[in-house]
Amino acid sequence: MYVGRLVEFKGIMILVDAFQALAEEYTDAQLLIAGEGPLTDVIKTRGTKANIYNRIKLLGEIPHEPVLERVGEADVLVHSSE
C-alpha cells in the first residue's frame, strides 16, 4: 500500500515498476494507492500496458480514518515524505 501524493519526486513510479516485477512472482499481490496527483493517468497507462492494472487499486484521496483501516490490513506500507 502506498499513501501520498502521486507526483514524480515521491517515487510512486518506482513503486509501480517494482510492483510489476513482484506481480509476476506473486500472482495474488495487489497494490493499493491512496492519494491523488498528476501521475494518476500515467499509473493507469503503465499498469494497463504491463497487464497488471486489475491488481492496482487507485483509492483516490480518502479521509484519515479509512486510510488507517486500510493500512492495518496491508502487508507492506510505503509512505514517502519529502
* Angstrom distances, CA of residue 14 to CA of 9, 11, 20, 66, 68: 10, 5, 10, 25, 24
| Cell (9 digits) for 15 | 513503486
- Domain for residue 69, yes or no? yes
The answer to whether the pTM exceeds 0.75 is yes
- Domain for residue 30, yes or no? yes
Q: In the predicted model, is pLDDT for residue 79 greater than 70? A: yes
The pLDDT tens digits of the residues spanning 5-56 come to 999 999 999 999 999 999 989 999 999 999 999 999 999 999 888 888 899 9
Q: What is the CATH number of the domain that holds 45?
A: 3.40.50.2000
Structural domains counted in the chain: 1
- Domain for residue 65, yes or no? yes
Q: In the predicted model, is pLDDT for residue 63 greater than 90? A: no
32 lies in which domain range? 2-73
